Amino acid sequence: MIPTKRRIIELEIEEAERIYGSNWERAFFNNFHGNLPGGWRRKVDDEILDRKPAIGLRLGKTLREFFGDVDRVLGELGIDVVGIEQLQINSRTEEVLRKARPTYVALRVSGYTHYDLTG
């Protein structure tokens, strides 16, 4: 049986857990938390938010569109956006990443690459 895209992504995450041990979230998700509400990547001027990315990145979407996708997925998954923002403000990165795992997986399934989300 051919594994689904979701299963392949979950296997990648499981492999990271084995390789990196207790620090796997920070190693695997790298800068993903910066794309979440309250994250450092969101603190940019409107001009930058509306600029198209280099070819092939973020499915060709602007940062504003990309962040919209992130927020939409958070909402669809019932993840508390305000709670994520508060954790970001309080520098609780590992907790943010644990809560954000389903968001990462859903965004990957929708077509975003690991690099789009973490690079």
Please answer whether residues 98 and 25 qualify as being in contact, where contact means their C-beta atoms are separated by less than 8 angstroms.
Answer: yes
Q: How much of the chain exceeds pLDDT 70, in percent?
A: 96
Q: What share of the chain is helix, strand, coil (3-state, %, to 5)?
A: 70, 0, 30
> For residue 119, what pLDDT is reported?
82
Residue 16's CB is within 10 A of a number of other CB atoms, namely 16
User: Per residue in 26-62, pLDDT tens?
Assistant: 899 999 999 999 999 999 998 888 888 766 677 888 8
d(CA 95, CA 87): 7
pTM here is 0.89
Given this model, what pLDDT does residue 59 score? 80
- Domain limits, the chain: 5-118
Q: Crossing angle of helices 81-89/93-109, nearest 10°?
A: 140
Q: Among 90, 12, 105, which residue's Cα sits nearest to residue 82? A: 90
